[in-house]
């Protein structure tokens, strides 16, 4: 159980602010441009307890609320979005284990995950299946006290540097509806678990996003999440709510960081004899950017409150993710315009925000699909 209060929250957020300014912001540009994994930063995350941020204190985690966790993500992403992915996918895995795992699975994995000794992620997306997860083809067939897995995954964060994944597979490819044939496994790296290659990306650099191949990979049957086949699709859906709150916070962080850079630059840069912040065209941009940042934070808070109360929040999480990610794109784009020609110089950090922002509109469900989820939930909750 969590025993955090407002003073505790302020203390941890203050420590995150100090860490971001001292350790994260100074290295962001160098590691992003080199596409180099920030190993030292990961060790610092372990010391800060970030790998156990939302894991219950019963298992050695911090037991933070989704609201406090989102505030941490906003702070980190406002300086450099990419590192938030290192602990986000890990915590989605941990959330699913804590919610649906057997007692043995919880006791074996959650304490190690909270300490960062076992770092994980989620293995969902395949070359032919992204938002439509029911279209996955990776299969697991029972063989004695193991399952044998064959297939491929792509765009998997933490798969290169991490220790394992929560792996979504088909245990009954013929099942109808399709989701009834899907299961999740706690899949530790072993023979047959092949990291095929690290993917080259426009943004979100320095973080390992890889293509994977499973070639007769054997996973113990006791690692079937919850011990029952056919529950995988429902089990991962709950974790995606936290994931969408996280992506909303990442988009909001990008928006806030872009606003801060643009606000500073607009006061330093002069044209026609005065700082550009005194030109009405620039003022209109800054006002819209600030309003979108504030609105995104409120939507994230709304979703987090329902999540922490254990209430269904697919509508609220979708709204937060949709608006927060679009705010990131909007603010990064407007900041590029405020920086003018210098926005295209790699000496200025705003170009990284611009490259990173669009991913938030795609990850954890495309914004196009999320808008249909929002509409369907509105209709279902408000019958005529």
Residues involved in catalysis: 364
- Closest to 355 (Cα-Cα) out of 373, 329, 321, 337: 329
Residue 255 corresponds to which tokens in the numbers above? 């928006």
The DSSP element (H or E) to which 212 belongs, if any, is: strand 209-220
11 backbone φψ class: left, alpha, beta (φ>0; ψ -120 to 50): alpha
Q: Are 169 and 183 in contact (CB under 8 A)?
A: yes
Residues with Cβ within 8 Å of 213's Cβ and at least 6 positions away in sequence, in order, are 151, 152, 194, 196
Q: Count CB-CB contacts under 10 A for residue 379.
A: 10
Q: How far apart are CA 118 and CA 360, in angstroms?
A: 26
How far does CA 120 lie from the centroid of its chain? Answer: 13
All residues at 6 or more sequence positions from 50 whose CB lies less than 8 Å from its CB, including other chains = 72, 87, 116
Distance CA 319, CA 373 (A): 9
What distance in Å separates the CA atoms of residue 236 and residue 226, rounded to the nearest whole number?
12
Angle between helices 367-381 and 314-339 (to 10 degrees): 140
Distances (CA, A) of 59 to 42, 103, 233: 20, 11, 25
In whole angstroms, how far apart are CA 9 and each of 1, 62, 64? 16, 11, 9
Cα separation, 329 vs 247, in Å, equals 13
Phi, psi for 210 (deg, rounded to 5): -130, 160
The total number of residues written for the chain in this structure = 384
Tell me if 55 sits within 8 A of 234, measured CB to CB: no
Under 8 Å between Cβ of 262 and 354: no
């Amino acid at each position: 159980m969590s025993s955090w209060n407002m003073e505790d929250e302020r203390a941890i957020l203050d420590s995150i602010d100090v860490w971001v300014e001292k350790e994260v912001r100074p290295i962001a540009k160098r590691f992003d441009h080199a596409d180099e994994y920030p190993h030292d930063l990961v060790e610092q995350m372990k010391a800060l307890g970030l790998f156990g941020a939302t894991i219950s204190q019963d298992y050695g985690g911090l037991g933070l609320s989704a609201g406090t966790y989102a505030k941490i993500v906003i702070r980190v992403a406002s300086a450099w979005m990419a590192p938030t992915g290192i602990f986000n996918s890990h915590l989605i895995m941990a959330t699913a284990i804590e919610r649906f795992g057997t007692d043995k699975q919880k006791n074996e994995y959650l304490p190690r995950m909270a300490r960062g000794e076992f770092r994980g992620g989620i293995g969902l997306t395949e070359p032919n299946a992204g938002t439509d997860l029911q279209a996955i083809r990776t299969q697991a067939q029972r063989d004695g006290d193991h399952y044998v897995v064959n297939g491929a995954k792509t765009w998997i964060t933490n798969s290169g540097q991490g220790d394992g994944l929560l792996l979504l597979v088909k245990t009954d490819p013929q099942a109808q509806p399709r989701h009834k044939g899907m299961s999740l496994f706690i899949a530790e790296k072993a023979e047959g678990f092949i990291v095929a290659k690290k993917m080259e990306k426009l943004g979100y650099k320095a973080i390992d996003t890889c293509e994977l191949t499973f070639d007769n990979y054997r996973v113990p049957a006791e690692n079937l999440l919850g011990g029952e086949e056919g529950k995988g699709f429902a089990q991962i859906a709950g974790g995606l709510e936290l994931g969408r709150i996280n992506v909303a916070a990442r988009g909001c962080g990008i928006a806030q960081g872009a606003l801060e850079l643009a606000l500073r630059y607009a006061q330093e840069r002069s044209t026609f004899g005065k700082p550009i912040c005194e030109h009405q065209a620039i003022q209109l941009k800054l006002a819209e950017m600030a309003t979108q940042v504030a609105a995104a934070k409120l939507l994230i808070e709304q979703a987090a409150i329902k999540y922490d109360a254990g209430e269904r929040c697919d509508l609220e999480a979708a709204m937060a993710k949709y608006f927060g990610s679009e705010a990131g794109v909007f603010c990064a784009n407007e900041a590029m315009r405020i920086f003018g020609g210098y926005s295209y110089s790699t000496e200025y950090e705003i170009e990284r925000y611009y490259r990173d922002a669009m991913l938030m509109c795609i990850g954890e469900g495309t914004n196009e699909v999320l808008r249909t989820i929002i509409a369907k939930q509105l209709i279902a909750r408000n019958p005529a």
